[in-house]
Amino acid sequence: MSIIYDEKQKTISLHTKNTTYQMQIDRYGFLLHLYYGRYAEGCMDYLLTYYDRGFSGNPYEAGTDKTYSMDSLPQEFPSLGTGDYRTPACIIKNTDRTYCSDFRYVTHTIREGKYSLPGLPAVYADDSEAQTLEVVLEDPVTGVLAVLLYGVLPEYDVITRSVKIVNASKGYISVKKLAPACLDLVGGDYDFLTFYGRHAMERNCQRMPVGHGTSKIGSLRGTSSHQYNPAVILAEHDATEDAGSCYGMAFVYSGGFQSEAGKDQYSQTRLLMGFSEEQFAYPLNPGEDLQSPEVIMTYSGEGLAKLSQNFHRCIRTHLCRGKYKETVRPILINSWEASYFDFTGESLLALARQAADLGIEMFVLDDGWFGNRDSDLRGLGDWKVNEKKLGCSLGELITKINGMGMKFGIWIEPEMVNEDSELYREHPDWAFVIPGRRPNRSRYQLVLDFSRKEVVDYIYEQICAVLDQGNVEYIKWDMNRSLADIYSATADSQGRVLHDYVLGLYDFLERLVNRYPNILIEGCSGGGGRFDAGMLYYTPQIWCSDNTDPIDRLEIQYGTSFIYPASSVGAHVSASPNHQTRRVTSMKTRGMVAMAGTFGYELNLNELGEEEKDEIRRQIAEYKKYAALVQRGTYYRLTNPQTDNQGAWEFVSEDQREALVQVVGIKKHANMTVDYIKVKGLKENTMYRDTETGRLYNSTALREAGVPKPVLEGEYQAYQWHFVCED
């Protein structure tokens, strides 16, 4: 039993293999949070303290007891209006136009299996792998319910949380703020780790102390965004990769979000994750409900590496779906950086022929194949194959590419429209534009109103008509601007549109994965602008960044690795000098960095010399050797490329018999000092052989003293060790 209700103590404990989460229904029916941390049994309500504190009010039924205050007690689902003046998880505007919600315990149920969420992505599990706790809270005055859901996956040290607001009151209400996950920690000093960035430089890790006042990150863009990722970590001040307590929250959602962390007046920490409050006011008529997306939570008492590994395992095996979830993904060549919009059917076939000759397994036709799309000025929305440009039908092109022994994949951007398109001329009201205002343009395009079913249905039909023209085995689903000018002609309230947009997107994707179960979908939003756990439910890999420079990628992939598994990280070898940074790097360095994700190429192969082509052939053979280890192995960060001389990481097989350690030099100095790379996750005091050199190493010494990275000539040199257990 992973969920235990103690009738006497009124505690509910959620146990996983290594962690325990505990709450208590207290004497007034408030649901208090008691404990989240290492596995522990018994009742932890001794952690609650009661003192008479100035300006911290008391619920009426506490009578003359001035020591009982919601302003200081740790809670599971704090709402505005109970006397808790900290940042609430929920704000509801009631029928009487007040903003008070006073949720009290009504009942709870425990059941086998993991709950699912209609219309939303969510972690899934067999009945034997998970349990669900449902706690019903009610505001006794309005009758509004908050139904808290907890999914417990013991083997994964994961607890998920979602909440449903049910309007069981007699009138119209509006949900102004909703954060399904709240974590109140009564003691301790924590750092807030967030992943900030920009287009082409996503998910830089920032670690800052949680102070008094609230640190808030989030996205107002209608998507999870390049600027902040919807996943955060609270780590003890002195927590490292290998030691210390840390808590992670990953939002399984692709729309606007916010996460808030702060210390209250008594130095207690609160962490929240939920919908972005801006432009959010979700209307509920009597009988209607709003189900929030879920948050994946995990705790590690053994530092950040273990925390990340918990996320990786859960996301890879219980969130990603479909045929390619566990299979090694095909090595692809993408046409974008090879020729951008400038191609013909002949030039595509020439690229494909060269790719096939090198051993590449799939050809991906990127932007520019449809409508009038010879530049980004026009064409989005017109999903008709440009046969004139291709010189043949799509079906014929695919047949030719299949004939070369390669799979075929195609780029789409279904959520968008250019003003210069047939679709926009016919349905100008389908794009987000506020009547009477001129819209914000971004990359010359507008966003289609996916909160409207007829818009989703129409685009879905157009896209299916393309996919049905041949043997398409891969889709790159792109999304190249942020939402603005939110106005939906048919909505009863504009405060619902941003969330309904995401629901429309998920509805489209769900239909697509069901209709084409054999197609691998790669998510993309100008690279990693929508790299989140929500998208990974539909697209098991996401183009990590439009920046393919391997040295910048060290940092981008480092930040990404805190939450997301390598199997989800789209990474390609591109040209040198790099198109984004003009940096010159070797094919070896580019290959090694791309091999730490779902591997592919994105450059004009026909411009390469014979030597480089041979190198690619060797690279492909090598990748095939290690692909399963990269995709399923346990991941360790060995350095911090944001501050260290090297970017280094490691994949260890589940049985710990094999490890791949990869390192890329960043800074180069004269008369170099030597960097020692400390190798992790191997069996204790066991001999391992480096298969490249044949040299034997002791695993404990590898961890404690490290292995010297050879000082190689030139900048940005890559090196790797492949260790195999000797016994």
Q: What are phi and psi of 522, to 5 degrees?
A: -105, 125
Are residues 629 and 650 in contact, defined by beta-carbon separation less than 8 angstroms? Answer: no
CB of 466 to ligand GLA, least distance (A): 16
Strand pairing report for 658-665 and 646-652: antiparallel
Nearest approach, Cβ of 14 to ligand GLA (angstroms)? 39
Q: How far apart are CA 235 and CA 217, in angstroms?
A: 17
* Residue in 532, 552, 555, 658 annotated catalytic: 532
181 makes contact with ligand GLA (CB under 6 A): no
Query: Nearer to ligand GLA by C-beta: 443 or 667?
Result: 443
Min separation Cβ 410 and ligand GLA, Å: 11
Q: Which residues 419-478 are close enough to bind ligand GLA by CB under 6 A?
A: 478
- Residue 26 or 376: the one with the smaller Cβ distance to ligand GLA is 376
The answer to the question of residue 546 lying near ligand GLA (CB under 6 A) is yes
- The pair of structure tokens assigned to 6 is 């103690």
217/272 Cα distance (integer angstroms): 11
The nearest distance, CB 328 to ligand GLA, in angstroms, is 22
Helices marked H in 644-713: 699-704
Q: Residues 482-521 vs ligand GLA: string with x where CB under 6 A? A: ----------------------------------------
Single out the residue of 414, 442, 446, 452 nearest to residue 431, CA to CA: 446
- Report angle CA 595, 297, 132 to the nearest 5 degrees: 120
When binding is defined by CB under 6 A, the residue of 367, 449, 522, 532 that contacts ligand GLA is 367
Decide if 152 contacts 130 (C-beta within 8 A).
yes
- CB neighbour class for 518 (10 Å; exposed up to 12, middle 13-18, buried from 19): exposed
- 366 touches ligand GLA (CB under 6 A): yes
- Least Å distance, CB 543 to ligand GLA, is 6
CB atoms within 10 A of CB 171: 12
User: Cβ(475)–Cβ(410) under 8 Å?
Assistant: yes
Q: Which of residues 515-544 bind ligand GLA (CB under 6 A)?
A: 524, 526-527, 543
- 134, 612, 615, 622: the catalytic one is 612
Q: Is the peptide bond before 577 cis (omega within 30 degrees of 0)?
A: yes
Q: Report if residue 382 touches ligand GLA, rule: CB under 6 A.
A: no
Amino acid at 70: M
CA dihedral 344, 460, 223, 180 (to 10 degrees): -150
Which residue is closest to ligand GLA by CB? 367
Residues numbered 619 to 638 that lie near ligand GLA (CB under 6 A) are none
Whether 478 is catalytic is no
The distance of closest approach from Cβ of residue 526 to ligand GLA in the complex, given in angstroms and rounded to an integer, is 4
Strands (E), 199-265: 201-209, 213-219, 231-236, 246-251, 257-263
Q: Which is nearer to ligand GLA, 129 or 367 (by Cβ)?
A: 367
Closer Cβ to ligand GLA, 202 or 241, answer by number: 202
Among 290, 288, 310, 283, smallest CA distance to 299 is for: 310
Distance of closest approach, residue 454 Cβ to ligand GLA, in angstroms: 26
* Distances from the Cα of 28 to the Cα of 36, 69, 137, angstroms: 22, 11, 12
370 binds ligand GLA (CB under 6 A): no
Residue 264 a catalytic site member: no
Considering only the C-alpha atoms of the chain, give the largest distance between any 2 of them, rounded to a whole number of Å.
Answer: 86
Q: Is 549 in the site for ligand GLA (CB under 6 A)?
A: no
The verdict on 411 binding ligand GLA (CB under 6 A) reads yes
- Shorter beta-carbon distance to ligand GLA: residue 309 or 548: 548
**Binding status of residue 480 toward ligand GLA by CB under 6 A:** yes
Query: Contacts with ligand GLA in 331-350 (CB under 6 A)?
Result: 336
Give the nearer residue to ligand GLA in terms of CB position, either 102 or 413.
413
Name the token pair of 622.
């090598």
Do the bridges between strand 472-477 and strand 231-236 make them parallel or antiparallel, or are there none, so unpaired? Answer: unpaired
Nearer to ligand GLA, 5 or 340 (CB): 340
> Closer CB to ligand GLA, residue 268 or residue 442?
442
Count of residues binding ligand GLA (CB under 6 A)?
Answer: 11
Q: What is d(CA 147, CA 106) in angstroms, rounded to the nearest whole number?
A: 10
Q: How far is the CB of 485 from ligand GLA (least distance, A)?
A: 21
Question: Please, which residues have CB within 8 angstroms of residue 434's CB and are 6 or more apart in sequence?
Answer: 485, 486, 487
Residues involved in catalysis? 532, 612
Which chain residues interact with ligand GLA by CB under 6 A? Answer: 336, 366-367, 411, 478, 480, 524, 526-527, 543, 546
